[in-house]
Amino acid sequence: QVQLVESGGGLVQPGGSLRLACAASGFTFSVYQMSWVRQAPGKGLEWVSAINSGGDSTTYQDSVKGRFTISRDNAKNTLYLQMNSLKPEDTAVYYCATGPRPLYSDYVDRADFGSWGQGTQVTVSS
């Protein structure tokens, strides 16, 4: 069955960096567009970034553009999110999900994506 397992979250000071990973199994990872989605405390799901199947086209939410980088290694069935210059407002549970950026809004529902991981907590605080 489809399995997505995120890792790499943690506590980091403002201005710091983290690299998230999402290990995929149970499906042909290399043909799927993939996204990162986050949920801040008390808020809804927010799309963050997406990458096409080949890894040569990426998109970002405006608030993370220039600070976050999405990438993938299809040989390792793994999706990544490099997060630099982290801010307290980046604090959230980060999920990887199968599917592209939704067309209508960056605020999304679980039904907008095919499969989800369990999430990894990122906390940005001094």
Q: What is the pLDDT of residue 43?
A: 96
Mean pLDDT (whole number) for 23-46:
97
Give the three-state DSSP class for 111.
Answer: helix
| Residue percentage of the chain with pLDDT more than 90 | 96
- Taking only the tens place, the pLDDT of each residue in 47-93 is 999 999 999 999 999 999 999 999 999 999 999 999 999 999 999 99
Q: What is the pLDDT of residue 105?
A: 85
Q: Check residues 22 and 104 and name the one with the higher pLDDT.
A: 22
C-alpha span between 112 and 103 (Å, rounded)? 10
pLDDT tops 90 at residue 103: no
Integer CA distances (angstroms), 80 to 67, 104, 119, 125, 126, in order: 14, 24, 13, 22, 25
Chain mean pLDDT for the chain:
96
